[in-house]
Structure 1
Protein backbone atom coordinates (compact mmCIF):
# COMPACT_ATOMS: atom_id res chain seq x y z
CA UNK A 1 0.00 0.00 0.00
CA UNK A 2 1.37 3.43 -0.95
CA UNK A 3 0.85 6.40 1.33
CA UNK A 4 0.32 10.04 0.27
CA UNK A 5 2.52 11.46 3.03
CA UNK A 6 5.86 10.73 4.64
CA UNK A 7 7.45 11.72 7.92
CA UNK A 8 11.22 11.93 7.64
CA UNK A 9 13.16 11.64 10.90
CA UNK A 10 16.80 12.80 10.93
CA UNK A 11 19.35 12.70 13.73
CA UNK A 12 22.44 14.85 14.10
CA UNK A 13 25.31 12.44 13.41
CA UNK A 14 27.59 14.34 15.79
CA UNK A 15 25.17 13.88 18.70
CA UNK A 16 24.71 10.13 18.34
CA UNK A 17 22.62 7.67 16.33
CA UNK A 18 18.91 7.82 15.66
CA UNK A 19 17.25 5.96 18.53
CA UNK A 20 14.65 3.25 17.83
CA UNK A 21 12.46 4.80 20.52
CA UNK A 22 12.30 8.05 18.57
CA UNK A 23 11.20 6.15 15.47
CA UNK A 24 8.51 4.30 17.44
CA UNK A 25 7.16 7.55 18.89
CA UNK A 26 7.11 9.10 15.43
CA UNK A 27 5.24 6.14 13.93
CA UNK A 28 2.62 6.37 16.63
CA UNK A 29 2.14 10.10 16.10
CA UNK A 30 1.40 9.72 12.38
CA UNK A 31 -0.03 6.16 12.37
CA UNK A 32 2.83 5.29 10.06
CA UNK A 33 3.93 2.07 8.43
CA UNK A 34 7.31 0.31 8.57
CA UNK A 35 10.23 2.76 8.41
CA UNK A 36 12.37 2.94 5.29
CA UNK A 37 16.04 3.48 6.12
CA UNK A 38 17.65 6.41 4.30
CA UNK A 39 20.88 6.28 6.29
CA UNK A 40 21.57 3.67 8.94
CA UNK A 41 21.41 5.24 12.39
CA UNK A 42 20.78 8.69 10.90
CA UNK A 43 17.56 9.02 8.90
CA UNK A 44 14.38 7.13 8.07
CA UNK A 45 11.20 7.73 6.12
CA UNK A 46 7.91 6.77 7.77
CA UNK A 47 5.16 6.48 5.12
CA UNK A 48 1.86 7.65 6.59
CA UNK A 49 -1.71 8.70 5.79
CA UNK A 50 -2.54 12.24 4.81
CA UNK A 51 -3.01 14.38 7.93
CA UNK A 52 -6.65 15.00 8.71
CA UNK A 53 -8.88 16.22 11.54
CA UNK A 54 -7.42 15.08 14.84
CA UNK A 55 -4.00 14.30 13.37
CA UNK A 56 -0.89 15.53 15.11
CA UNK A 57 0.28 18.79 13.61
CA UNK A 58 3.81 19.28 12.33
CA UNK A 59 4.50 21.53 15.33
CA UNK A 60 3.25 18.85 17.75
CA UNK A 61 5.35 16.19 16.06
CA UNK A 62 8.42 18.41 16.17
CA UNK A 63 7.91 19.28 19.85
CA UNK A 64 7.29 15.66 20.86
CA UNK A 65 10.44 14.45 19.16
CA UNK A 66 12.65 17.38 20.23
CA UNK A 67 13.90 15.62 23.40
CA UNK A 68 15.46 13.00 21.11
CA UNK A 69 17.27 15.80 19.25
CA UNK A 70 15.93 14.76 15.88
CA UNK A 71 14.35 16.74 13.08
CA UNK A 72 10.93 15.71 11.84
CA UNK A 73 9.65 16.74 8.41
CA UNK A 74 6.08 15.86 7.42
CA UNK A 75 5.60 16.16 3.65
CA UNK A 76 3.60 14.93 0.69
CA UNK A 77 5.14 11.93 -1.02
CA UNK A 78 4.45 13.28 -4.50
CA UNK A 79 6.95 15.77 -5.86
CA UNK A 80 9.48 15.39 -3.05
CA UNK A 81 12.56 15.58 -5.23
CA UNK A 82 13.17 19.20 -6.23
CA UNK A 83 14.46 20.63 -9.49
CA UNK A 84 15.92 23.78 -7.96
CA UNK A 85 17.94 24.69 -4.87
CA UNK A 86 18.23 28.29 -3.69
CA UNK A 87 20.39 28.62 -0.58
CA UNK A 88 21.38 31.41 1.76
CA UNK A 89 25.10 31.63 2.54
CA UNK A 90 25.86 32.96 6.04
CA UNK A 91 24.91 30.58 8.86
CA UNK A 92 23.54 28.20 6.25
CA UNK A 93 26.10 27.06 3.69
CA UNK A 94 28.76 28.65 5.90
CA UNK A 95 28.84 28.12 9.66
CA UNK A 96 29.35 31.81 10.46
CA UNK A 97 28.43 35.34 9.41
CA UNK A 98 31.02 36.78 7.01
CA UNK A 99 30.13 40.40 7.67
CA UNK A 100 30.40 39.93 11.42
CA UNK A 101 33.76 38.18 10.98
CA UNK A 102 34.98 40.98 8.74
CA UNK A 103 33.87 43.61 11.22
CA UNK A 104 35.65 41.82 14.06
CA UNK A 105 38.94 42.05 12.18
CA UNK A 106 38.20 45.67 11.31
CA UNK A 107 37.72 46.59 14.96
CA UNK A 108 33.97 47.28 14.84
CA UNK A 109 32.75 43.78 15.61
CA UNK A 110 30.41 44.53 18.50
CA UNK A 111 28.61 47.34 16.69
CA UNK A 112 28.10 45.30 13.53
CA UNK A 113 27.08 42.14 15.39
CA UNK A 114 24.38 44.04 17.27
CA UNK A 115 22.96 45.42 14.03
CA UNK A 116 23.14 41.96 12.41
CA UNK A 117 21.21 40.39 15.28
CA UNK A 118 18.53 43.07 15.14
CA UNK A 119 18.15 42.55 11.40
CA UNK A 120 18.03 38.76 11.53
CA UNK A 121 15.44 38.95 14.29
CA UNK A 122 13.31 41.24 12.17
CA UNK A 123 13.76 44.23 14.48
CA UNK A 124 15.45 46.36 11.81
CA UNK A 125 14.76 46.33 8.08
CA UNK A 126 17.45 44.64 6.04
CA UNK A 127 18.42 47.57 3.83
CA UNK A 128 18.97 49.95 6.72
CA UNK A 129 20.89 47.35 8.70
CA UNK A 130 23.19 46.55 5.79
CA UNK A 131 23.93 50.19 5.03
CA UNK A 132 24.76 50.89 8.67
CA UNK A 133 27.06 47.90 8.92
CA UNK A 134 28.87 48.58 5.67
CA UNK A 135 29.39 52.24 6.66
CA UNK A 136 31.38 51.06 9.67
CA UNK A 137 33.90 49.44 7.31
CA UNK A 138 34.86 52.73 5.64
CA UNK A 139 38.63 53.15 5.34
CA UNK A 140 39.46 49.56 6.26
CA UNK A 141 41.89 47.58 4.06
CA UNK A 142 40.33 45.17 1.56
CA UNK A 143 42.99 42.62 2.55
CA UNK A 144 40.78 41.82 5.54
CA UNK A 145 38.40 40.01 3.14
CA UNK A 146 41.09 37.45 2.37
CA UNK A 147 41.80 37.05 6.08
CA UNK A 148 38.14 36.24 6.69
CA UNK A 149 38.04 33.84 3.76
CA UNK A 150 40.93 31.83 5.18
CA UNK A 151 39.02 31.31 8.43
CA UNK A 152 35.64 30.29 6.97
CA UNK A 153 34.13 26.83 7.41
CA UNK A 154 31.51 25.12 5.29
CA UNK A 155 28.53 23.69 7.13
CA UNK A 156 28.51 19.90 7.34
CA UNK A 157 26.98 18.50 4.15
CA UNK A 158 27.21 21.68 2.04
CA UNK A 159 29.06 20.13 -0.89
CA UNK A 160 27.03 16.93 -0.64
CA UNK A 161 23.80 18.90 -0.91
CA UNK A 162 24.85 20.92 -3.94
CA UNK A 163 26.66 18.16 -5.80
CA UNK A 164 23.97 15.54 -5.22
CA UNK A 165 21.18 17.78 -6.46
CA UNK A 166 23.25 18.80 -9.49
CA UNK A 167 23.94 15.15 -10.25
CA UNK A 168 20.17 14.67 -10.45
CA UNK A 169 19.71 17.59 -12.86
CA UNK A 170 18.72 20.26 -10.36
CA UNK A 171 19.73 23.90 -10.80
CA UNK A 172 21.56 25.34 -7.78
CA UNK A 173 21.96 28.98 -6.74
CA UNK A 174 23.60 30.71 -3.80
CA UNK A 175 21.62 33.89 -3.04
CA UNK A 176 22.93 35.93 -0.14
CA UNK A 177 22.54 39.25 1.59
CA UNK A 178 26.30 39.03 2.10
CA UNK A 179 29.01 40.15 -0.28
CA UNK A 180 29.72 38.83 -3.76
CA UNK A 181 33.41 38.72 -2.79
CA UNK A 182 32.46 35.71 -0.66
CA UNK A 183 29.53 34.26 -2.65
CA UNK A 184 31.78 33.81 -5.69
CA UNK A 185 34.32 31.80 -3.72
CA UNK A 186 31.75 29.76 -1.80
CA UNK A 187 29.85 28.99 -5.02
CA UNK A 188 33.05 27.73 -6.65
CA UNK A 189 33.95 25.65 -3.60
CA UNK A 190 30.55 23.95 -3.39
CA UNK A 191 29.74 23.85 -7.11
CA UNK A 192 26.70 26.15 -7.24
CA UNK A 193 25.60 26.96 -10.78
CA UNK A 194 25.28 30.65 -9.96
CA UNK A 195 25.63 33.10 -7.10
CA UNK A 196 24.23 36.49 -6.15
CA UNK A 197 24.96 38.93 -3.32
CA UNK A 198 25.74 42.53 -2.50
CA UNK A 199 28.69 44.23 -4.19
CA UNK A 200 31.06 45.87 -1.73
CA UNK A 201 32.69 49.02 -3.08
CA UNK A 202 36.48 48.85 -2.97
CA UNK A 203 38.73 51.66 -4.24
CA UNK A 204 42.53 51.52 -4.10
CA UNK A 205 42.32 48.32 -2.02
CA UNK A 206 40.25 50.11 0.60
CA UNK A 207 36.61 49.57 1.57
CA UNK A 208 34.68 52.81 1.09
CA UNK A 209 31.81 52.00 3.42
CA UNK A 210 29.39 51.88 0.48
CA UNK A 211 27.86 49.31 -1.84
CA UNK A 212 28.61 49.31 -5.56
CA UNK A 213 25.13 48.19 -6.67
CA UNK A 214 21.52 47.94 -5.53
CA UNK A 215 20.90 46.07 -2.28
CA UNK A 216 19.99 42.40 -2.51
CA UNK A 217 17.46 41.97 0.27
CA UNK A 218 14.48 39.74 1.14
CA UNK A 219 12.36 40.63 -1.88
CA UNK A 220 15.30 40.21 -4.24
CA UNK A 221 15.92 36.72 -2.86
CA UNK A 222 12.33 35.77 -3.67
CA UNK A 223 12.68 37.41 -7.08
CA UNK A 224 15.70 35.25 -7.86
CA UNK A 225 13.70 32.18 -6.82
CA UNK A 226 10.87 33.12 -9.15
CA UNK A 227 13.25 33.89 -12.02
CA UNK A 228 15.06 30.60 -11.60
CA UNK A 229 11.87 28.54 -11.58
CA UNK A 230 10.72 30.30 -14.74
CA UNK A 231 14.05 29.71 -16.46
CA UNK A 232 14.06 26.08 -15.33
CA UNK A 233 10.53 25.65 -16.62
CA UNK A 234 9.10 24.48 -13.29
CA UNK A 235 6.64 25.79 -10.74
CA UNK A 236 7.55 27.09 -7.30
CA UNK A 237 6.49 23.81 -5.73
CA UNK A 238 9.48 22.19 -7.48
CA UNK A 239 11.94 24.41 -5.59
CA UNK A 240 13.82 23.92 -2.33
CA UNK A 241 14.99 26.98 -0.42
CA UNK A 242 16.98 27.14 2.78
CA UNK A 243 18.10 29.90 5.13
CA UNK A 244 18.19 31.07 8.72
CA UNK A 245 17.32 34.77 8.88
CA UNK A 246 14.41 37.16 8.52
CA UNK A 247 15.61 38.16 5.05
CA UNK A 248 15.10 34.53 3.96
CA UNK A 249 11.43 34.33 4.97
CA UNK A 250 9.92 35.44 1.61
CA UNK A 251 11.79 32.80 -0.38
CA UNK A 252 11.23 30.13 2.29
CA UNK A 253 7.49 30.73 2.24
CA UNK A 254 7.27 30.85 -1.56
CA UNK A 255 9.06 27.58 -2.35
CA UNK A 256 7.48 24.15 -2.43
CA UNK A 257 9.90 23.14 0.32
CA UNK A 258 11.30 26.00 2.38
CA UNK A 259 13.52 24.83 5.21
CA UNK A 260 14.35 27.11 8.14
CA UNK A 261 17.88 25.91 8.87
CA UNK A 262 18.98 26.42 12.51
CA UNK A 263 16.97 29.60 12.15
CA UNK A 264 16.43 32.65 14.32
CA UNK A 265 13.41 32.47 16.69
CA UNK A 266 11.27 34.87 14.65
CA UNK A 267 11.87 32.76 11.53
CA UNK A 268 10.84 29.56 13.30
CA UNK A 269 7.59 31.23 14.34
CA UNK A 270 6.68 31.76 10.69
CA UNK A 271 8.30 28.89 8.80
CA UNK A 272 6.94 25.56 10.00
CA UNK A 273 9.32 23.23 8.16
CA UNK A 274 12.53 23.33 10.16
CA UNK A 275 15.97 21.77 10.56
CA UNK A 276 17.02 22.47 14.15
CA UNK A 277 19.45 19.67 15.00
CA UNK A 278 20.98 17.99 11.95
CA UNK A 279 23.14 19.35 9.13
CA UNK A 280 22.59 20.10 5.48
CA UNK A 281 22.34 16.40 4.63
CA UNK A 282 18.82 16.68 6.02
CA UNK A 283 17.82 18.59 2.89
CA UNK A 284 18.60 15.52 0.82
CA UNK A 285 16.82 13.12 3.16
CA UNK A 286 13.80 15.43 2.99
CA UNK A 287 13.70 14.74 -0.74
CA UNK A 288 13.92 10.97 -0.28
CA UNK A 289 17.59 10.59 -1.23
CA UNK A 290 19.39 7.72 0.49
CA UNK A 291 22.91 8.25 1.83
CA UNK A 292 24.25 5.77 -0.72
CA UNK A 293 23.26 8.13 -3.54
CA UNK A 294 24.97 11.20 -2.10
CA UNK A 295 27.76 12.71 -4.20
CA UNK A 296 30.67 13.36 -1.85
CA UNK A 297 33.51 14.29 -4.22
Structure 2
Protein backbone atom coordinates (compact mmCIF):
# COMPACT_ATOMS: atom_id res chain seq x y z
CA UNK A 1 0.00 0.00 0.00
CA UNK A 2 1.73 3.17 -1.23
CA UNK A 3 2.07 6.02 1.24
CA UNK A 4 3.29 9.60 0.80
CA UNK A 5 3.32 12.92 2.60
CA UNK A 6 0.86 15.80 2.46
CA UNK A 7 0.33 19.02 4.38
CA UNK A 8 -2.70 19.49 6.59
CA UNK A 9 -3.20 23.09 7.68
CA UNK A 10 -5.69 23.98 10.42
CA UNK A 11 -7.11 27.50 10.28
CA UNK A 12 -9.54 28.72 12.94
CA UNK A 13 -10.45 31.90 14.80
CA UNK A 14 -9.36 29.87 17.86
CA UNK A 15 -8.40 26.21 18.01
CA UNK A 16 -10.67 24.77 20.68
CA UNK A 17 -10.41 21.44 22.54
CA UNK A 18 -13.36 20.19 20.45
CA UNK A 19 -11.49 20.95 17.22
CA UNK A 20 -8.31 19.32 18.51
CA UNK A 21 -10.30 16.23 19.49
CA UNK A 22 -11.91 16.00 16.04
CA UNK A 23 -8.53 16.39 14.37
CA UNK A 24 -6.97 13.67 16.54
CA UNK A 25 -9.83 11.33 15.57
CA UNK A 26 -9.29 12.20 11.90
CA UNK A 27 -5.60 11.32 12.09
CA UNK A 28 -6.43 8.01 13.77
CA UNK A 29 -9.20 7.15 11.31
CA UNK A 30 -6.90 7.61 8.31
CA UNK A 31 -3.78 6.21 9.98
CA UNK A 32 -1.85 9.45 9.50
CA UNK A 33 1.70 9.59 10.83
CA UNK A 34 3.00 13.03 11.83
CA UNK A 35 6.29 14.00 10.20
CA UNK A 36 6.37 17.62 11.33
CA UNK A 37 4.34 20.37 12.99
CA UNK A 38 4.71 24.14 12.50
CA UNK A 39 2.66 26.72 14.38
CA UNK A 40 2.23 29.53 11.86
CA UNK A 41 0.03 31.89 13.88
CA UNK A 42 -1.41 32.14 17.40
CA UNK A 43 -4.55 34.14 18.09
CA UNK A 44 -3.57 34.31 21.77
CA UNK A 45 -0.47 36.29 20.76
CA UNK A 46 -2.37 38.82 18.68
CA UNK A 47 -2.57 37.06 15.32
CA UNK A 48 -5.77 37.22 13.26
CA UNK A 49 -6.32 33.48 13.76
CA UNK A 50 -4.75 30.22 14.85
CA UNK A 51 -2.86 28.42 12.09
CA UNK A 52 -0.99 25.12 12.46
CA UNK A 53 0.59 23.14 9.64
CA UNK A 54 1.12 19.39 9.95
CA UNK A 55 3.14 17.26 7.55
CA UNK A 56 1.57 13.80 7.63
CA UNK A 57 2.16 10.50 5.88
CA UNK A 58 -0.83 8.53 4.70
CA UNK A 59 -2.18 6.05 2.20
CA UNK A 60 -2.23 7.42 -1.37
CA UNK A 61 -5.68 5.98 -1.98
CA UNK A 62 -7.19 7.75 1.03
CA UNK A 63 -6.38 11.42 0.37
CA UNK A 64 -9.67 12.26 -1.35
CA UNK A 65 -11.70 10.57 1.38
CA UNK A 66 -9.61 12.46 3.94
CA UNK A 67 -10.36 15.77 2.21
CA UNK A 68 -14.10 15.15 2.38
CA UNK A 69 -13.88 14.05 6.01
CA UNK A 70 -11.99 17.26 6.80
CA UNK A 71 -14.73 19.28 5.08
CA UNK A 72 -17.32 17.52 7.23
CA UNK A 73 -15.47 18.56 10.39
CA UNK A 74 -15.50 22.14 9.09
CA UNK A 75 -19.27 21.92 8.74
CA UNK A 76 -19.59 21.05 12.43
CA UNK A 77 -16.78 23.11 13.97
CA UNK A 78 -15.34 26.59 13.21
CA UNK A 79 -12.20 25.29 11.52
CA UNK A 80 -10.78 24.76 8.04
CA UNK A 81 -8.60 21.68 7.57
CA UNK A 82 -6.84 22.21 4.27
CA UNK A 83 -4.99 19.47 2.40
CA UNK A 84 -2.02 20.27 0.14
CA UNK A 85 0.86 18.44 -1.48
CA UNK A 86 4.00 18.33 0.65
CA UNK A 87 6.45 19.45 -2.05
CA UNK A 88 8.11 22.81 -2.39
CA UNK A 89 5.76 25.82 -2.53
CA UNK A 90 6.92 28.23 -5.22
CA UNK A 91 3.71 30.19 -5.80
CA UNK A 92 4.15 33.50 -7.65
CA UNK A 93 0.72 34.39 -9.10
CA UNK A 94 -2.54 34.78 -7.17
CA UNK A 95 -5.80 35.26 -9.12
CA UNK A 96 -9.10 36.17 -7.48
CA UNK A 97 -12.74 36.14 -8.35
CA UNK A 98 -14.27 39.44 -7.20
CA UNK A 99 -17.95 39.24 -6.20
CA UNK A 100 -18.51 37.35 -2.92
CA UNK A 101 -14.77 36.64 -2.80
CA UNK A 102 -12.96 39.98 -2.52
CA UNK A 103 -16.16 41.84 -1.67
CA UNK A 104 -19.24 40.89 0.34
CA UNK A 105 -21.64 41.46 -2.52
CA UNK A 106 -22.72 40.37 -5.97
CA UNK A 107 -22.51 43.74 -7.69
CA UNK A 108 -24.98 42.87 -10.42
CA UNK A 109 -27.54 42.13 -7.69
CA UNK A 110 -26.85 45.50 -6.05
CA UNK A 111 -27.30 47.28 -9.37
CA UNK A 112 -30.57 45.43 -9.91
CA UNK A 113 -31.88 46.45 -6.46
CA UNK A 114 -31.25 50.10 -7.28
CA UNK A 115 -33.07 49.60 -10.59
CA UNK A 116 -36.11 47.92 -9.04
CA UNK A 117 -35.48 44.45 -10.48
CA UNK A 118 -33.54 43.02 -7.56
CA UNK A 119 -35.55 39.86 -6.89
CA UNK A 120 -35.63 38.88 -10.56
CA UNK A 121 -31.88 39.24 -11.00
CA UNK A 122 -30.86 37.73 -7.64
CA UNK A 123 -32.77 34.53 -8.43
CA UNK A 124 -30.91 34.12 -11.73
CA UNK A 125 -27.55 34.94 -10.06
CA UNK A 126 -28.05 32.33 -7.34
CA UNK A 127 -28.94 29.63 -9.86
CA UNK A 128 -25.90 30.51 -11.97
CA UNK A 129 -23.54 30.38 -8.97
CA UNK A 130 -24.91 26.95 -8.04
CA UNK A 131 -24.11 25.77 -11.56
CA UNK A 132 -27.76 25.30 -12.60
CA UNK A 133 -27.60 27.78 -15.48
CA UNK A 134 -25.10 28.50 -18.25
CA UNK A 135 -23.17 31.55 -17.09
CA UNK A 136 -23.13 33.41 -20.41
CA UNK A 137 -26.86 32.98 -20.96
CA UNK A 138 -27.71 33.97 -17.39
CA UNK A 139 -25.36 36.94 -17.59
CA UNK A 140 -27.01 38.32 -20.73
CA UNK A 141 -30.43 37.77 -19.16
CA UNK A 142 -29.46 39.73 -16.05
CA UNK A 143 -27.77 42.49 -18.03
CA UNK A 144 -30.86 43.08 -20.13
CA UNK A 145 -32.82 43.88 -16.96
CA UNK A 146 -30.38 46.73 -16.15
CA UNK A 147 -31.18 48.72 -19.27
CA UNK A 148 -31.70 52.39 -18.42
CA UNK A 149 -29.81 52.34 -15.10
CA UNK A 150 -28.01 55.65 -14.45
CA UNK A 151 -24.21 55.72 -14.38
CA UNK A 152 -24.39 57.68 -11.12
CA UNK A 153 -25.64 54.50 -9.43
CA UNK A 154 -22.43 52.75 -10.51
CA UNK A 155 -20.36 55.51 -8.94
CA UNK A 156 -22.30 55.26 -5.70
CA UNK A 157 -21.89 51.48 -5.41
CA UNK A 158 -18.20 51.58 -6.40
CA UNK A 159 -17.46 54.06 -3.61
CA UNK A 160 -18.84 51.76 -0.92
CA UNK A 161 -17.87 48.22 -1.94
CA UNK A 162 -17.85 46.12 1.27
CA UNK A 163 -14.52 44.30 1.48
CA UNK A 164 -14.24 40.69 2.62
CA UNK A 165 -12.52 40.21 5.98
CA UNK A 166 -8.75 40.00 5.71
CA UNK A 167 -8.45 41.21 2.12
CA UNK A 168 -6.55 44.42 2.96
CA UNK A 169 -3.98 42.55 5.07
CA UNK A 170 -3.70 39.85 2.44
CA UNK A 171 -3.01 42.30 -0.39
CA UNK A 172 -0.58 44.35 1.68
CA UNK A 173 1.49 41.23 2.30
CA UNK A 174 1.19 39.72 -1.18
CA UNK A 175 2.52 42.97 -2.66
CA UNK A 176 5.36 43.18 -0.15
CA UNK A 177 6.33 39.54 -0.75
CA UNK A 178 6.43 40.02 -4.53
CA UNK A 179 3.44 38.00 -5.73
CA UNK A 180 1.69 39.06 -8.94
CA UNK A 181 -2.03 39.56 -8.31
CA UNK A 182 -5.02 39.65 -10.66
CA UNK A 183 -8.79 39.91 -10.54
CA UNK A 184 -10.53 37.49 -12.95
CA UNK A 185 -14.18 38.36 -12.59
CA UNK A 186 -17.50 37.63 -14.20
CA UNK A 187 -18.49 41.03 -12.78
CA UNK A 188 -17.63 44.42 -14.22
CA UNK A 189 -14.39 46.27 -14.93
CA UNK A 190 -15.97 49.43 -13.49
CA UNK A 191 -15.86 47.89 -10.01
CA UNK A 192 -12.71 45.83 -10.50
CA UNK A 193 -10.89 49.06 -11.33
CA UNK A 194 -12.15 50.58 -8.08
CA UNK A 195 -10.69 47.63 -6.16
CA UNK A 196 -7.46 47.83 -8.13
CA UNK A 197 -7.02 51.47 -7.12
CA UNK A 198 -7.91 50.71 -3.51
CA UNK A 199 -5.88 47.52 -2.99
CA UNK A 200 -3.17 47.52 -5.64
CA UNK A 201 -3.94 44.54 -7.89
CA UNK A 202 -1.46 44.25 -10.74
CA UNK A 203 -4.14 43.58 -13.36
CA UNK A 204 -7.86 43.07 -13.79
CA UNK A 205 -10.00 41.16 -16.28
CA UNK A 206 -13.78 41.51 -16.11
CA UNK A 207 -16.83 42.38 -18.24
CA UNK A 208 -17.31 45.78 -19.83
CA UNK A 209 -20.59 47.52 -19.12
CA UNK A 210 -21.84 49.36 -22.20
CA UNK A 211 -22.90 52.88 -21.21
CA UNK A 212 -24.49 55.39 -23.59
CA UNK A 213 -25.52 58.94 -22.66
CA UNK A 214 -25.01 58.19 -18.99
CA UNK A 215 -27.23 55.10 -19.00
CA UNK A 216 -26.53 51.37 -18.96
CA UNK A 217 -27.67 49.89 -22.28
CA UNK A 218 -28.24 46.36 -20.99
CA UNK A 219 -25.53 45.05 -23.29
CA UNK A 220 -21.98 43.93 -22.55
CA UNK A 221 -18.93 43.79 -24.75
CA UNK A 222 -17.45 40.44 -25.78
CA UNK A 223 -15.72 38.32 -24.69
CA UNK A 224 -17.78 37.58 -21.60
CA UNK A 225 -15.61 36.41 -18.69
CA UNK A 226 -17.16 33.05 -17.85
CA UNK A 227 -15.69 29.89 -16.31
CA UNK A 228 -13.74 28.93 -19.41
CA UNK A 229 -12.44 32.45 -19.94
CA UNK A 230 -11.20 32.67 -16.32
CA UNK A 231 -9.18 29.48 -16.75
CA UNK A 232 -7.75 30.72 -20.05
CA UNK A 233 -6.81 34.08 -18.54
CA UNK A 234 -5.05 32.44 -15.60
CA UNK A 235 -2.97 30.33 -17.96
CA UNK A 236 -2.23 33.29 -20.26
CA UNK A 237 -1.03 35.46 -17.36
CA UNK A 238 1.15 32.67 -15.98
CA UNK A 239 2.72 32.03 -19.41
CA UNK A 240 3.30 35.74 -20.05
CA UNK A 241 4.97 36.21 -16.66
CA UNK A 242 7.12 33.09 -17.00
CA UNK A 243 5.34 31.11 -14.27
CA UNK A 244 4.22 27.49 -14.40
CA UNK A 245 0.61 26.65 -13.56
CA UNK A 246 1.94 24.97 -10.39
CA UNK A 247 3.08 28.46 -9.32
CA UNK A 248 -0.46 29.87 -9.72
CA UNK A 249 -3.11 30.19 -7.01
CA UNK A 250 -6.80 30.78 -7.75
CA UNK A 251 -9.47 31.85 -5.25
CA UNK A 252 -13.22 31.94 -5.89
CA UNK A 253 -16.64 31.03 -4.54
CA UNK A 254 -18.94 30.08 -7.42
CA UNK A 255 -19.43 27.28 -9.92
CA UNK A 256 -18.02 29.55 -12.63
CA UNK A 257 -14.70 29.54 -10.71
CA UNK A 258 -14.21 25.76 -10.72
CA UNK A 259 -12.24 25.56 -13.99
CA UNK A 260 -9.92 28.31 -12.78
CA UNK A 261 -9.47 26.57 -9.42
CA UNK A 262 -8.67 23.29 -11.16
CA UNK A 263 -6.14 24.91 -13.49
CA UNK A 264 -4.07 26.49 -10.71
CA UNK A 265 -1.47 24.75 -8.57
CA UNK A 266 -3.62 25.66 -5.54
CA UNK A 267 -7.35 26.30 -6.03
CA UNK A 268 -9.13 27.68 -2.97
CA UNK A 269 -12.91 27.71 -2.68
CA UNK A 270 -13.51 30.69 -0.37
CA UNK A 271 -16.79 30.89 1.58
CA UNK A 272 -18.10 28.91 -1.35
CA UNK A 273 -21.28 27.11 -2.34
CA UNK A 274 -21.41 23.42 -1.26
CA UNK A 275 -20.85 22.20 -4.82
CA UNK A 276 -17.70 24.29 -5.12
CA UNK A 277 -16.33 23.27 -1.70
CA UNK A 278 -16.85 19.61 -2.60
CA UNK A 279 -15.05 19.86 -5.95
CA UNK A 280 -12.20 22.26 -5.15
CA UNK A 281 -8.97 20.79 -3.80
CA UNK A 282 -8.78 23.40 -1.02
CA UNK A 283 -11.56 25.23 0.81
CA UNK A 284 -11.60 28.01 3.42
CA UNK A 285 -14.86 29.01 5.10
CA UNK A 286 -14.20 30.05 8.70
CA UNK A 287 -11.44 32.68 8.57
CA UNK A 288 -10.65 35.82 6.61
CA UNK A 289 -8.93 35.93 3.24
CA UNK A 290 -5.62 36.56 4.98
CA UNK A 291 -5.71 32.88 5.96
CA UNK A 292 -4.39 32.34 2.44
CA UNK A 293 -1.03 33.67 3.61
CA UNK A 294 -0.56 30.63 5.85
CA UNK A 295 -1.53 28.23 3.06
CA UNK A 296 1.20 29.89 0.99
CA UNK A 297 3.60 28.87 3.75
CA UNK A 298 4.19 32.20 5.50
CA UNK A 299 4.41 32.38 9.28
CA UNK A 300 3.09 35.24 11.38
CA UNK A 301 6.53 36.61 12.21
CA UNK A 302 7.25 37.39 8.55
CA UNK A 303 3.92 39.14 7.90
CA UNK A 304 2.63 42.67 8.39
CA UNK A 305 -0.37 42.97 10.66
Return the TM-score normalized by structure 2.
0.89
Of residues 264, 269, 289 in structure 2, which corresponds to 1:280? 289
Q: Which residue of the other structure, out of 34, 52, 57, is the alignment partner of 1:49? A: 57
- 2:130 matched residue in structure 1: 121
Q: In the alignment, is residue 110 of structure 1 matched against residue 111 of structure 2?
A: no
Task: State whether residues 36 and 56 of structure 2, in contact with CA within 8 Å, keep that contact through their aligned partners in structure 1.
Answer: no
Output the CA distance in 2 between the equivalents of 1:200 and 1:144.
13
Name the residue aligned to 1:8: 9
Structure 2: distance between partners of 1:140 and 1:217: 23
Structure 2 CA distance for partners of 1:94 and 1:260, relative to 1, 3 Å: same
Q: Structure 1's 168 and 27: CA in aligned 2 closer, same or farther, altered over 3 A? A: farther
The partner residue of 1:39 within 38, 41, 60 is: 41
Trace 1:47-196 onto structure 2 (pairs within 5 A): 47-53=55-61, 57-196=66-205
What CA deviation, in whole Å up to 9, does each residue of 1:249-283 have, x standing for no partner? Answer: 11001111001111112222322421122221221
Equivalent position of 1:267 in the other structure:
276
Give the length in aligned residue pairs: 290
What is the RMSD of the two structures over their aligned residues, measured on CA atoms? 1.9
Unpaired stretches in structure 2, ≥5 consecutive residues: 44-49
Query: Which shows bigger deviation, 175-184 or 50-59?
Result: 50-59
Match of 1:205 in 2: 214
User: Which residue of the partner structure matches residue 247 of structure 1?
Assistant: 256
On the 8 A contact 1:161/1:280 being kept in 2, the answer is yes
Shift of the 202–82 alpha-carbon distance from structure 1 to 2, 3 Å rule, reads same
3-state SS, counterpart of residue 146 of structure 1? helix
Which residues of structure 1 form unaligned runs of 5+?
none
Is the 8 Å Cα contact of residues 22 and 65 (structure 1) preserved in structure 2?
no
Aligned-residue offset at 1:235:
1.4
Measure the CA separation in 2 of the matches of 1:5 and 1:24. 20
